[in-house]
Every structure is written in structure tokens, then in C-alpha cells.
Amino acid sequence: MNNASHLSLILDLSPSQWHLSAAPSNTHPLPFKTFLSHVLTFLNSHIAQMHENSLAVFGALPGKSIMLYSSSDVSGGPEVPADSNAYRPFKLMNSIVARNIEAELELLETMGDEPPVALVGALTKALCYINRITHTTSGSSAEDSAVAADPRILILSVSPDLSSSYIPIMNSIFSAQKNKIIIDVCKVYGADTVFLQQAAHLTGGSYIDLERRDALLQYLVMSFLPPPTMRQFIAVPKQDKVDFRAACFCHKNIVDIGFVCSVCLSIFCSPVPVCSTCRTKFPMKTLQRLNASRPAVPSANGSANGTPRPPSKPATPMSASLR
């Protein structure tokens, strides 16, 4: 390993989810304080790995997203009291991250209802930031270009999927894929999120659902600390089953056979005469044909039709996890 790597970390800072996470009724309660200390240790080890490694930390807060820390803009940071027992760069970073989170959470307290966290904002900011550092290094001088090699994004998620952000999340995933940015996801609390599963799958990252949440640091160090170039030598856990089914636009139901507008590709669970997204009217003929073919679906499924069924058919239970 001789290339420096860049890590953009996205912290999901939803106060209500963290409150639930800390509840003693969980098998392994994880309060935010413990979480933060694990994460900071992980970030320190990322920096300690190599002097050139760069780091950016983004926070997804309810209704807004901010950059908490970036190793390239560190000048002019706050005063940190000297401590003979701590390595100064670590201390500096830890205090900047902690201070910024604290300041943001304090701002939140005045708010009433908690809007969903701005994960999309944090994700797109991380992408723009990576674009900026890769762009400037390739422009200024060739020997600097190693600094931004191997960029990756790690999302520490506690919130559930937000179905309204489906399209922006997918757009972000595709741009990450296009720029060869790996998205790793660690689900620290809550049910699996289908969008982030797809993000990890499509960008070649790994998605990990914590079993022992009190061992967060170990998961982070073992799975997410090695840069992408090292991954081929290590067996980093990857999820196997990916739910590629879609949610219909009309009811957000999960469908395995849907009706799709050829103009805008909106998905509907039943044949509709007019597309609700682009207002296109569909020909009567098609509607009749589709309506006629619909009842045949279950019977076609039941009859053998002379086609041998692949033996692996019942391998995957149809779990409807997309909301």
C-alpha cells in the first residue's frame, strides 16, 4: 500500500434515532457519546495510517447538512490546549468535530418537530468535495495527484429510508459509480435501508448491519479502515441479497411486476389511463391488452407451461423491506 486515500465520513445525526439507540431496552444500547468516541478513534487511525491520508467529515442533521471537518481546510481552527499525552493533530481533529456537532445539536433544540435527516445533502456535498480535491490536485501538479487517490465515502446510518429521496439518492449513487467512488455503509441502528444497500452494491462498497453494536470500533477498523486497493486481499463482508424490486409511484407499494410509462419511466402498480408524472395519455388498446393479461398472471405462474422450473426458485424469501 503506497497510495494515500481519501475518506469522506457521513454521520447520521438524528437526535430521535440516537435517543432510541441509547434506550436500555436494546440488547446492546449504544449512546451517542460512546458512538462518537469510537468514530473519533477510527478517524485517528485513518490519519495515522499514512501521513498523506485525507479526511472530511459531514453531518446529516434534521433538515440540513454541514461539513464538520476537512483536513484540507484545517487552518484557522480553534485553540486547543496543549496536552502532553495526546498527539496534537488527533486532538485538534477530535475537538473540531466534537465542537461542531455540539454547536449544531444545540441549534436544533429550539426546533419543534424533527424533519428527516438531510442524508442526500450530506452525500452530494461529499461528492462535490471529492470532485473538488481530485480536480485541483490533477490541475496543479502531477506529484500531488496521489493525495486524492482512492476516494471513498462511509455512511454511518441510523435513520430509516426516506422514500421521497429515492431519486436524488439514486442520482448520487450513479455519480459516485461514474467517478469510481466507493460508498460503504454501516447500519449502526435501525432496520436495513434498501437505498443504502443498493448504494453499496452499485458502487462496489460493503454494507454492514451491526450485530454487536457495542463493538462498533472493531467493525469499523476491520472492515472500513483498509483502503479500496487493499480490499482485494481481505475478505471484507459484503451483503449478498439485494432487493432490486421497485416501489410504485402511486402507493409506494413494493411491486415485482409493474406498469411503466414509456415517456418518463414512472412505475404504477396497475394499468392507468394517464401518467400522473408527465400527464401522458396511454392508448386505449394498450390498457385493454394489459388489463386482459393481468388476471392471467397468477395462472401462468401456476401452470407448468412445459417449461422446467429452475430448482433454485424458493431460495429467496420475498421480504418487503422497502417502504
Partner 1 sequence: MDPGSDSDSLDEGVLTVRGRNKAARAKGVDPHNDKGKAKAKEQAYAWEANFTRSWDTVQEDEGGSLQGAVEELMARGRRRRLLAPAAAIRRTIIRHLILLLDLSSAMMDRDMRPTRFDLTLEYAREFITEWFDQNPLGQVGVVGMRGGIGERIGEMSGNPQDVLKSLSERHKLEPAGEPSLQNAIEMARSSMSHLPTHSSREILIVFGSLTTVDPGNIYDTLQSCIKEKIRISLVALAAEMKICRELCDKTGGQFGVAMNEGHFKDLIFELIPPPAQRAVARATGGGTTNPAADLMMMGFPTRLPDTAPPALCVCHAELRPAGFLCPRCGAKICDVPTDCDVCGLMIVSSPHLARSYHHLFPVKPYIPISSLDGAPKPTKHCHACSQPFRAQATASLADGMSSLGRYRCPDCSNDFCTDCDVFVHDVVHCCPGCEK
Residues that bind Zn ion (CB under 5 A): 248, 250-251, 253, 261, 263-264, 266, 269, 275, 277-278, 280
Write out the DSSP string of 211-245: SSGGGHHHHIIIIISS-HHHHTTS-----------
Residues 130 to 159 in contact with partner 1, rule: CB under 8 A = 131-132, 135, 139
Which residue in 24, 283, 295, 299 binds partner 1 (CB under 8 A)? 283
* Identity of the amino acid at 167: I
Of 189 and 249, nearer to Zn ion (C-beta) is: 249
Of 225 and 238, nearer to partner 1 (C-beta) is: 238
Instruction: Kindly give the interhelix angle for 88-108 and 32-49, rounded to the nearest 10 degrees.
Output: 150
Q: Which does 293 bind (CB under 5 to 8 A by kind): Zn ion, partner 1, none?
A: partner 1
121 part of the interface to partner 1, by CB under 8 A: yes
241 part of the interface to partner 1, by CB under 8 A: yes
297 part of the interface to partner 1, by CB under 8 A: yes
166 part of the interface to partner 1, by CB under 8 A: yes
Binding segment for partner 1 (CB under 8 A), chosen from 64-72, 82-90, 95-103, 151-159, is 64-72
- Please give the Cα distance from 42 to 46 (Å, whole number): 6
Instruction: Kindly give the interhelix angle for 166-178 and 119-140, rounded to the nearest 10 degrees.
Output: 20
240 part of the interface to partner 1, by CB under 8 A: yes
Binding segment for partner 1 (CB under 8 A), chosen from 19-27, 77-85, 223-231, 314-322, is 314-322
Q: How far apart are the first and last CA of the chain?
A: 41
- Please give the Cα distance from 61 to 105 (Å, whole number): 8
Which residue in 286, 288, 292, 320 binds partner 1 (CB under 8 A)? 286
- Please give the Cα distance from 247 to 102 (Å, whole number): 37
- Please give the Cα distance from 38 to 85 (Å, whole number): 19
